Amino acid sequence: MTTTLPDSTTARRAMIDSQLRTSGVNEEFALARMLAVPREDFLPADKVAQAYTDRSVMLGEAGHLAAPLFYGKALLEAAPMPETRVLVVSGGTGYLAALLRPLVATLTEVSAEDAAAGKVTGEYDLIVIDGAIEQLPDALAATLTDEGRIVTGLLLRQVTRLATGRKVAGRVNLLPVEDLGIPVLHAFDAPKGWTFA
């Protein structure tokens, strides 16, 4: 009887060495979590072969599993601490929550649709969004504590970027960190206005 565990572990180590370390993700806590959590466990059987490629795996209505580099960079920007109360806006698989859960005090996971519709309760020190958003709803920003932080993908002029923000005087401004390929969460699309040709 053959097991796929050694191949999976080898694939995760190769992902760390060829995708994360070479792109500046070198902090041990992030690498340890990326090594510990098998990406294939969050994919349907027909997509498992794509688990460690350097691009996102799209799952249709079920969401996505973003590229490893997005998660590695998001972990670095999140810089979770043992006392942190975290809200994860899911991309559909639960992978990001699995990466963060052992590093923080509490973690709540909600769907992108519920987060975009303002159906989030509680107060959080950190919000991490598994995907790129076009706008941050006021109701979601309101769940951040004063000086609370957010890490998300941001869609600006059809380009996705990793972005961070902090709540200061009741407002959250998102600042792009770097361009990355990140799946877009259309629940956060801005309303389209009239255009004239």
Instruction: Identify the pLDDT of residue 193.
Output: 63
* Strand ranges inside 157-195, DSSP E: 159-168, 171-179
SS3 197: coil
Tokens of 116: 């975009």
Q: Which of 188, 123, 119, 126 is nearest to 153 (CA)?
A: 188
Q: How far apart are CA 22 and CA 100, in angstroms?
A: 22
Instruction: Identify the pLDDT of residue 192.
Output: 77
Q: What is the pTM of this model?
A: 0.93
Instruction: Identify the pLDDT of residue 191.
Output: 84
Tokens of 147: 């000086």
What are the residue boundaries of the structural domains of the chain, listed by start?
5-188
Instruction: Identify the pLDDT of residue 7.
Output: 81
- Measured between alpha carbons, how far is residue 123 from residues 110, 132, 183 in Å? 13, 22, 26
Tokens 């990406």 sit at which residue? 39
Instruction: Identify the pLDDT of residue 178.
Output: 96
Q: How far apart are CA 132 and CA 68, in angstroms?
A: 15
pLDDT means per 10 residues in the chain (197 residues)?
61 96 97 97 96 96 96 98 98 97 98 96 97 97 97 96 96 96 96 61
* Contact of 88 with 71, CB cutoff 8 Å: no
Which residues, 6+ apart, have CB-to-CB distance to 146 below 8 Å?
A: 167, 168, 170
CATH superfamily, with its number, for domain 5-188: Vaccinia Virus protein VP39 (3.40.50.150)
